[in-house]
Amino acid sequence: MSAPDPRKQKASKAIVSRLFEDATNVWVIHYSCESFYDRTDGRSPRITSIAIRKLDSGQTVSFSIHQVAELEGIELTGIAAHYDALERKMLDAFFAHVGSHRGMKYLHWNMRDINYGFAAIEHRHRALSGTPFVIPDDNKFDLARLLIDIYGVGYTGHPRLTTLLEKNKIQPRDFLNGASEAEAFEQGNYVGLHQSTLRKVDILANIAGRVDDGSLKTNTSWWEMHGGRFRTLVNFAAENRAFQLIAGGASIVGLIVTFQPQLPQTILRALTSGQ
């Protein structure tokens, strides 16, 4: 397995640290939607639920199609017939919340493009004649990519999120993978999709916290994490005060031996033994 690039690793570790230092202004976000595979009609996938969780307090705000339907007096079995109108109201509420919390940072998992990501949510809102609030790219942080930079591309198996949960013994209660989410949508299981979305923001915050405190378990070995023996020794020497003092003392003794060979051997033994 290839070791992480030391420059990317350092930069990504610093990003995670800064996010936790500013945790009051960081939201963990995830959403569920209709399957975006094997689409032939050109229509963008419908969104079923969105959840955002405060990184510091864990307080979570969610937006879901079935909750909007309940407020409108529509039964679960009637959602399909009114989906566009309900989805528009759900996205209106989501973007109103985002717009009222400007400047917040968003930690996500692979929400990077029009296929699945912030751009996909914005596009869906526009397709329903809405006007989305666009979050600046500088305020979006992809935890999936940060993990690759910190631990290396082979830090876990595929699918990465599922195997990482197994490795760290994080219980995936209510968790649905991509295939299960697509099946749940086809079955009209909007409540299950919402519960899965809520669970995933909790999981992502859990993983991020373990990255920050150094307790996340991965397939990356200690030596790979530290770039091999030479780089590890250099870093250790540069960062360890005790090592520097010992090395400095040894250098002084070496100079004395070189330039003062006539000193009594007892003095040299005392110096080298630290007495």
What domains can be seen in the chain, in order of their start residue? 6-220 (3.30.420.10), 225-273 (no CATH)
* Candidate from 36-40, 86-90, 164-168, 235-239 with smallest mean pLDDT: 235-239
> Strand, helix or coil at 106?
strand
Tokens 């690039």 -> residue: 5
Give, as one character, the DSSP assignment of residue 132: P
- What confidence tens digit (pLDDT) does each residue in 213-244 have? 999 999 999 999 988 644 555 555 666 776 56
> Which pLDDT score, from 0 to 100, does residue 35 have?
86
pLDDT value at residue 55: 98
The whole-angstrom separation of Cα 223 and Cα 229 is 7
3-state secondary structure of 40: coil
pLDDT at 266: 54
pLDDT at position 242 is 63
CA 133 – CA 121 distance, rounded (Å): 10
**Each residue's pLDDT tens digit, 162-196:** 999 999 999 888 999 888 988 999 999 999 999 99
